[in-house]
Structure 1
Amino acid sequence: MGETKQTNDKNMTAWKHEINKKILVMPMAVEDFLERYVPSRANPPPAQVAASGPLPNVPVGQPELGMYGPLCAVLKELVKGFPNDKRLCFANNAHKPIKFPYGKYEQDHHATKPDVIASLPGKTFTGKDPGRWRNISLIFEAKSTESGDPMRYHSNANEETLVQLSKSARNILFAQSRLFTFGIGIYGAMARIYRFDHAGAVCSQAFEYSAANGAVLRDFLWRFVNPISDGCDIVGADPTVRLATSDERMTVEKQLLAGGIMHDNETSKACRWITVKGSENKKSKRYLLYELVFVNPRLFSRATTVWKALEVDENGWPTNLSRDAENRPHGVQVIIKDSWRQLARKPEPEYYKQIYGHIASQLSQPDLVKEASEEDIKGAVMKAWGKTWPGLAEYLIGDDLGANDLEVDEEERTGQQTCSGEHLARGLHRLFERSHTRMVSKSIGTPLSAFQRTKEMIQALRDAIFGHRTAFEAGIMHRDISEGNILIANGRGFLHDLDYAFNWMAHLLDLGYEHTVESWREYVRTTKGIPRKGGDDLQMTARSDPVGEPSSPRRSVNGGDDRKAAPPTPIINRNGEKEYFIDAIVAEGIVEGVKKYLVRWTGCGNEENTWAFPEDLRRCIALVNWLKRPAAERTQLSEPYLSESGSSAERDAAASGSPDDMKAPLDEAKRMECKERTGTLYFMSVEVLEGGGNIIHDVRHDLESFFWLLMWLVLRHTDYVHREGSSALQSLFDQPSDAACAERKKGWLMSPAVTVQNNAPLSQLINQFKRLCKLNMFDEDTPSNFIPLTYDSVLKVFDDALERDDWPSNDKAIPFKPLPDPNQLHRARPEGVILSSQTISGL
């Protein structure tokens, strides 16, 4: 099944769009490329590593299959002098297909056919399956002539060569949780080295790989197996991750059983240990990942993976064991989400902190004393929600590994932040560069598509809508309703993944408006919120991480309280403490003999900037953005604030007028933030699809997305009845453009509703929900017919359906099986072939 997709034209078209203008040749010598993009602690290869004689000849200009064997011989010669534990083994793969790394997704993603593959250092392919991506460290794609170089000569065949290389790189990244990976292109007698991360790819200038007995390629391979971090086997490996080896399989199986988890063949593909640093005052925690729940397979994207994991000790054994009602062992099981966040976006844990802070602020202070235990706080928060099930994932700890990477010297960084994005659009690196983030939540769930009863599926959607409401009331708009973002746990559902959320409260504050639901509704209606006192002159700034109260009083430089700007509005955290937001770091220097950073606070002018210690700003995004500036630039920007010369008036002037690029006025990107189009094409509302990025994303748009998600599940996993029969799924979702998709959805809302066989409650819900969505479409010709979707109206149709007692009892999800013909495949299931213009959530 996966192999037939290799020839799927739509799949190839999608990949070409995926990599278009994302792979760039670096204008530097190959030696400089290796120094910059293959970081290694090792010295150049020692003399004994050099080949003793001429390299074997690789035929040029002949059929490619004849190149693979001789190329393996060349590579073997180049590593012959490497220490045994560093030596790579090379195999002629001869176009044999290698399936997607995880079995449950094999039917969704095609197999790839690399020409030559390399083992992990010190390993061989003897006794191992060379066709498993977790055993492969490096791939080679060979073309018999220089005209096959896709970076120099453009043709359809060369584009497909680049796609093949990119697919293999994607598979290595996902199979082994790598930070970045490499591929080698051989084009006749020339070669290029490619480095892929989740923002893009860079490649070297073409070089003659056999020159000087293969010196350049040997230097690359030597660097490749001698990474900076002692805990890594190759350059690009994540030092916080270690894959379980085949020799450890028996031990891992025992460890999982000790935690109450059964082991199967798929588990061995997933098993890996990871370390999460956690918060300031907590020790690092170690987890054993054992099941992949969800994966976003796009190469240049968030690349989100969601795992089930078991908390373990340093030796890999489960901690805090308990016993269930049948006396079976039960370890601490969690969900771990790995993703690559755009630097322009706020870390997801901060949204969860704001939600908890909002709930805590609703409580009376006696309910939230600082001495209260975690359980007391959680109980109080649950009480404030007024529900026994919150509908949101319960966040435990999180780690912004990219931000941590910036805290060490550049030569010590392991690649937790991408480095290719800065070359895609100079000056806009924050829109392209990505930071590796990891989040642990207590909520364990199964995919929405694995429901045991249709009533369970509806209950899960209902819970997620309630969770969406909870987040919105805390100031957070989700904006990415999709199948992978809702999970089922014990018959209930919860919403997770706030990566693409929008802080509407912060947005209104930045614009000088009241940050209330009423003000937001007015802003959506008129693009102007309810002004707050002093809002006309409020400095419009971007928000960053919350920190504790400022160390100095917030008074004007004249000592009075007469400034026109309103004071910043704090967030009350779950411990009842005030937290303020940082707009930016504007300077750094030695102040009173100690290294400090000058903080500009959101909602305040530069006259109220305060100096802060580095430890108080740890993981602050404003600090991350500051540290990404070159050292010379930071020094230049800091000089006005550090100058000891001149009068006090001159120093005050320097403090109130920062350099041009650090001024606070809101730029166009900030003003358009509320109109950013996010989400997946299939589930976007009609108005968002038609708006072209000019629609303020509101609650009603996300509520409509829940309807399209419901249709997706019904048409894929139930025994439905519709006038278009088995082609209904393709007809509704598989459209070539935004406009076509919007028109089809409008037509769907106007046509008779789909019904589900022998399931009156679900059929009733679909019909009533469809009617609400139809009224949710604004028509300038009939504005009086417009009735926006609300939480109350949508939750009512779900509650009415769930209250019925005639739900089927044995109607679990029907497994979805795509048609085998690749040219007909999309008629059974939309392939997810979404062009860059059709989705933003892949960015």
Structure 2
Amino acid sequence: MALANFAGIVPVQEFMTKYMPPPTSEGSTIADIVKHPNVVAALNEFKEAAMKAKDENGDAKQFIAYLEKIVFGFPPERKPFIGDTRKTEFKSLNEGHYKMPDITASRPGLKTLPKAWHDAGTVVELKHTLDIFDDEEQIIDSESDQAIKALIQLAKSARSLLMASNACYVYVVSAFRHGMARIFRFDHSGFRATSAFNWTTEPTILPTFFFRLYNPDGDGGRMYGDDDTISIPTTKEKVQMYDALCTHSFYNRMYESQEEATKNSLWIKAVRFDDVNGERVPKIVRAFTIGSILSYSDGLFSRATHVYRVILEDDVEQKVEQPPIYALKDVWRQACRRPEIDFYDTIAKHCSANNVQMDGMVRCHGSIDLSVSNRPPAPTWDWTRHRTCSATKGPSFDRCHTRALFTPVGKPLKFFPSTKALVQALHHAILHHEIAFQAGVLQRDVSDGNVLFEEASAEADPKGFLVDWDYAEFTPEGLRNFESWFPGRKDEQDQYKNIDKSLKDITGTLPFMAIQILDNENMAESDRVSHQPCHDLESIYWLLVWMILRHTKHTHPAGALACSQLFDPTGTLSKRGWSTWRTPVNPQLPLFELVEGLREQVSAQNRIPNTGKYQMGPEPLPITYEAFRRIFDAELAAPGWPTNDAMIPFRIPSLKTANNQSEARSLIVETLQRATRGSAQGSGSLPSAQGSGSLKRSRDGDIDNDPFTAAPASGSKDAPDVRKAKKQKGKLQS
């Protein structure tokens, strides 16, 4: 993944000019730093020590002393603390994360050694002789070479810095050969590196880098690359927003104290649409985050989706009775992807025009592309930093930083209070999916993260809804409707119009993807089936089975390993076999009849087509909305649903419990699914997340969580369980 996102080597002076231009305050500061007697003395001490050093350990002390002298004169609010962190295990950002950078420079203004990623501003990795690039400035790509390991180490550090700081891009340094170095710039589409330079003979480069990194234009406390639309609220502001929250009939009961509700709060600029004389007008608002982050994906080269629960400053200042609570979704969208707001607007317009009730459906109340300067509202931030510049496939694959406000706020499906509530939520998702399709929008990513319960609905009987249209696509009729209803957007939509090709792309979340869509991967594009509503309906079935095998008392002989056996990502044979099995739940329950009815529909949809001379059986029968609704309606109305069968927390068994090779493989698959799906249990600057990331497949390789850059496989090495799983998987495959 890192190799595919390498955007190239840039000569160091060009890099500093183009990717780190000087702040207005720089003036003659760099020359003053370089000439300062203490800096000169520290540089000479390093040179002397380097001549005797046998490994990187011999460089660390003098190198740190030199960097300390460089930043010594920075203003207190901008000055970092720089220290040796080779024996400091940073606090985990996610379960299984750990990392010990060689040298860490803190965030501005800190006066102690960083011990967690949210305290870190940049890192320096020391190597004795190793450079990641060869003499022709190409990445050394042998899997056994230490260069690849060094690159992965830098990429993981960059991912942790991005994740902890919410920055738009970050910088890390590789130092090697007792005086040589490279500076790396990482954003969410790729990375660049400088040419190798000798900082002992070119003494202006590191002072320039550190000064520009810690002294950008604007208020102190920020670093170059930080998101200038995010800030930390004051204690007074936290009190004000918490008092407003306490007037809400539901959220006043969610938190026991102001500390719990506001400990990790942020101010985030967003946009809400106001109605002015019947026209929709976007207005910049400040959103205050409440409690823990709802969900996030921490893949390095990805959408990096973050979802927060927020209350708006405007509503509090205007003393709105029971101020609305929104879900704020922050995404780095690829420029070639259609903005999600287009789908929400089309669905809402269809419902309005046809008098269709949107009860319970998700609604978008505001959306903005922070990287755009020529559309209202006029940006009050540096819009240039909110678009990446490292996409190796070209500018259309660079990422635009977007935000949107939604209601209702959701909570994960896996926290169902009863199996009937789970089934009802999926029923609601089917209804919402059908309404969207009637509007000409196909969702294409039904998953455990995209079917949610309303957070504020009755606990015993929560409402479900379908969310997340990032991977959606218009049908041909839907595109015609959109262009008719929103003619003002036509000029900016031309790049998105290849509907036929898009509907044949392999898109979705792997465990829940329909069998025919998974089969597309081995077919030429001309032979692929187009994504249809029947495939998303099949995903509803697989999602229900996933929940049963993970969070209920079922009778499958594989027990806790049943889910990993069924959803093995290596192929579709296990799913095809499952569709002929009897559902492993109590046959006396309505849940059994419901899942059996859905299973028969899925099995009929995936019959092998008759392509030979002899007709061997009936043709495949696509699932219809009516067929699925009929089954759900009948069983939800049936008596006998238990009331005491709330979700059971899922725990992965240890690899040590495997009795045979089949069980060992299932445990390995389960561990790797966990690594790539990233349930996002945060810490540090990111509070615990309740949502779930997912391994996505799409036309452009936009993978939210990939095995090399996603959560638990963090740090210089994989987490122990993932590392063991990969090793064992290799043995089994061989």
Do the two structures share a fold, i.e. TM-score over 0.5? yes
Per-residue CA deviation, residues 685-741 of structure 1 (Å, 9 max, x unaligned), is 100111125221100111111111112222221111113332211111233x3xx2x
1:403 aligns with 2:404: no
Looking at structure 1, the residues matched to 588 and 675 of structure 2 have their Cα atoms a distance apart, in angstroms, of 29
Looking at structure 1, the residues matched to 198 and 590 of structure 2 have their Cα atoms a distance apart, in angstroms, of 69
The equivalent position to 2:576 in structure 1, one of 746, 771, 778, is 746
Asked if the contact 2:105/2:122 (under 8 Å) is kept, the reply is yes
Aligned to 2:284: 284
Aligned to 2:130: 146
Looking at structure 1, the residues matched to 696 and 537 of structure 2 have their Cα atoms a distance apart, in angstroms, of 24
Letter in 2 for 1:433: D
Looking at structure 1, the residues matched to 237 and 83 of structure 2 have their Cα atoms a distance apart, in angstroms, of 25
Looking at structure 2, the residues matched to 320 and 252 of structure 1 have their Cα atoms a distance apart, in angstroms, of 11
The equivalent position to 2:345 in structure 1, one of 349, 353, 356, is 353
Change (3 A) 1:245 1:209: farther
Looking at structure 2, the residues matched to 808 and 776 of structure 1 have their Cα atoms a distance apart, in angstroms, of 31
Aligned to 1:469: 434
Asked if the contact 1:761/1:807 (under 8 Å) is kept, the reply is yes
Looking at structure 1, the residues matched to 696 and 349 of structure 2 have their Cα atoms a distance apart, in angstroms, of 36
1:179 aligns with 2:168: yes
Aligned to 2:680: none
Q: Once the 2 structures are TM-superposed, how far is the Cα of residue 63 of structure 1 from its aligned partner?
A: 4.3
Q: Once the 2 structures are TM-superposed, how far is the Cα of residue 86 of structure 1 from its aligned partner?
A: 1.9
Report SS of the residue matched to 1:811. coil
1:116 aligns with 2:103: yes
Q: Once the 2 structures are TM-superposed, how far is the Cα of residue 743 of structure 1 from its aligned partner?
A: 1.5
Looking at structure 2, the residues matched to 277 and 744 of structure 1 have their Cα atoms a distance apart, in angstroms, of 46
Looking at structure 2, the residues matched to 75 and 246 of structure 1 have their Cα atoms a distance apart, in angstroms, of 34
Change (3 A) 1:474 1:152: closer
Looking at structure 2, the residues matched to 217 and 714 of structure 1 have their Cα atoms a distance apart, in angstroms, of 56
Looking at structure 1, the residues matched to 696 and 468 of structure 2 have their Cα atoms a distance apart, in angstroms, of 21
Q: Once the 2 structures are TM-superposed, how far is the Cα of residue 185 of structure 1 from its aligned partner?
A: 1.4
Change (3 A) 1:732 1:506: same
Looking at structure 2, the residues matched to 403 and 35 of structure 1 have their Cα atoms a distance apart, in angstroms, of 23
Aligned to 2:335: 343
Change (3 A) 1:827 1:486: closer
Per-residue CA deviation, residues 16-49 of structure 1 (Å, 9 max, x unaligned), is xx323212333x3211101211244333551433
Report SS of the residue matched to 1:710. helix
Change (3 A) 1:310 1:166: same
What are the equivalent positions in structure 2 for 1:706-785 lying under 5 Å apart? 706-735=540-569, 737=570, 740=571, 742-755=572-585, 760-781=589-610, 784-785=618-619
Looking at structure 2, the residues matched to 671 and 833 of structure 1 have their Cα atoms a distance apart, in angstroms, of 30
Aligned to 1:790: 624
Per-residue CA deviation, residues 77-122 of structure 1 (Å, 9 max, x unaligned), is 1111222222111122115332443xxxx33x52233222221112
Aligned-residue sequence identity (percent) comes to 28
The equivalent position to 2:469 in structure 1, one of 498, 523, 535, is 498
1:842 aligns with 2:703: yes
Q: Once the 2 structures are TM-superposed, how far is the Cα of residue 776 of structure 1 from its aligned partner?
A: 0.9
Letter in 2 for 1:295: Y
Aligned to 2:363: 394
Aligned to 1:381: none
Looking at structure 1, the residues matched to 412 and 552 of structure 2 have their Cα atoms a distance apart, in angstroms, of 16
Aligned to 2:387: 417
Report SS of the residue matched to 1:334. strand
Asked if the contact 1:485/1:496 (under 8 Å) is kept, the reply is yes
Asked if the contact 1:818/1:825 (under 8 Å) is kept, the reply is no
Looking at structure 2, the residues matched to 272 and 197 of structure 1 have their Cα atoms a distance apart, in angstroms, of 22
Looking at structure 2, the residues matched to 786 and 186 of structure 1 have their Cα atoms a distance apart, in angstroms, of 60
Q: Once the 2 structures are TM-superposed, how far is the Cα of residue 772 of structure 1 from its aligned partner?
A: 0.8
Change (3 A) 1:80 1:828: closer
Aligned to 1:306: 307
Change (3 A) 1:676 1:141: same
What are the equivalent positions in structure 2 for 1:557-576 lying under 5 Å apart? 570-571=484-485
Per-residue CA deviation, residues 471-490 of structure 1 (Å, 9 max, x unaligned), is 11111000111111121012
Looking at structure 2, the residues matched to 743 and 708 of structure 1 have their Cα atoms a distance apart, in angstroms, of 14
Change (3 A) 1:397 1:711: same
Looking at structure 2, the residues matched to 309 and 783 of structure 1 have their Cα atoms a distance apart, in angstroms, of 55
The equivalent position to 2:196 in structure 1, one of 206, 210, 218, is 206
Looking at structure 1, the residues matched to 645 and 231 of structure 2 have their Cα atoms a distance apart, in angstroms, of 40
- Runs of at least 5 residues in structure 2 that lack an aligned partner in the other structure: 274-279, 611-615, 657-663, 678-694, 705-734
Asked if the contact 1:729/1:830 (under 8 Å) is kept, the reply is no
Report SS of the residue matched to 1:793. helix
Report SS of the residue matched to 1:789. coil
1:271 aligns with 2:265: yes
Compare relative contact order (CA 8 Å, sep 6+) and give the higher one, 1 or 2.
2
Change (3 A) 1:395 1:507: closer
Letter in 2 for 1:175: A
Looking at structure 2, the residues matched to 92 and 759 of structure 1 have their Cα atoms a distance apart, in angstroms, of 63
Per-residue CA deviation, residues 299-344 of structure 1 (Å, 9 max, x unaligned), is 1111111111122259xx676454xxxxxxx543111111111111
TM-score (norm 1): 0.69
Looking at structure 1, the residues matched to 439 and 490 of structure 2 have their Cα atoms a distance apart, in angstroms, of 20
Change (3 A) 1:242 1:30: same
Report SS of the residue matched to 1:308. strand
Per-residue CA deviation, residues 140-169 of structure 1 (Å, 9 max, x unaligned), is 222121346586544433222222222222
Q: Which moved more, 1:250-259 or 1:684-693?
A: 250-259
- Runs of at least 5 residues in structure 1 that lack an aligned partner in the other structure: 1-17, 323-329, 364-383, 510-514, 516-545, 547-568, 572-578, 585-619, 626-665
Asked if the contact 2:453/2:463 (under 8 Å) is kept, the reply is yes
Looking at structure 2, the residues matched to 246 and 206 of structure 1 have their Cα atoms a distance apart, in angstroms, of 45
Per-residue CA deviation, residues 180-211 of structure 1 (Å, 9 max, x unaligned), is 11111122322111111111111111112333
Letter in 2 for 1:501: A
Looking at structure 2, the residues matched to 702 and 672 of structure 1 have their Cα atoms a distance apart, in angstroms, of 18
Asked if the contact 1:112/1:164 (under 8 Å) is kept, the reply is no
Per-residue CA deviation, residues 786-816 of structure 1 (Å, 9 max, x unaligned), is 2211111112222222223322222222222
Looking at structure 2, the residues matched to 728 and 147 of structure 1 have their Cα atoms a distance apart, in angstroms, of 45
1:196 aligns with 2:183: no
Aligned to 2:153: 164
Change (3 A) 1:404 1:484: farther
Asked if the contact 1:118/1:139 (under 8 Å) is kept, the reply is yes
Per-residue CA deviation, residues 370-417 of structure 1 (Å, 9 max, x unaligned), is xxxxxxxxxxxxxx22x7x34x312111111122389999x9544111
Change (3 A) 1:295 1:266: farther
Looking at structure 1, the residues matched to 228 and 398 of structure 2 have their Cα atoms a distance apart, in angstroms, of 20
Looking at structure 2, the residues matched to 405 and 232 of structure 1 have their Cα atoms a distance apart, in angstroms, of 29
Aligned to 2:115: 131
Looking at structure 1, the residues matched to 156 and 512 of structure 2 have their Cα atoms a distance apart, in angstroms, of 26
What are the equivalent positions in structure 2 for 1:542-581 lying under 5 Å apart? 570-571=484-485, 579-580=486-487
The equivalent position to 2:533 in structure 1, one of 689, 699, 706, is 699
Looking at structure 1, the residues matched to 588 and 69 of structure 2 have their Cα atoms a distance apart, in angstroms, of 67
Looking at structure 2, the residues matched to 252 and 711 of structure 1 have their Cα atoms a distance apart, in angstroms, of 41
Aligned to 1:49: 33
Looking at structure 2, the residues matched to 679 and 494 of structure 1 have their Cα atoms a distance apart, in angstroms, of 18
Looking at structure 2, the residues matched to 319 and 446 of structure 1 have their Cα atoms a distance apart, in angstroms, of 28
Letter in 2 for 1:211: T
Letter in 1 for 2:176: Y
1:220 aligns with 2:239: no
Report SS of the residue matched to 2:372. helix
1:37 aligns with 2:19: yes
Aligned pairs, how many? 632
TM-score (norm 2): 0.79
Asked if the contact 1:320/1:332 (under 8 Å) is kept, the reply is no
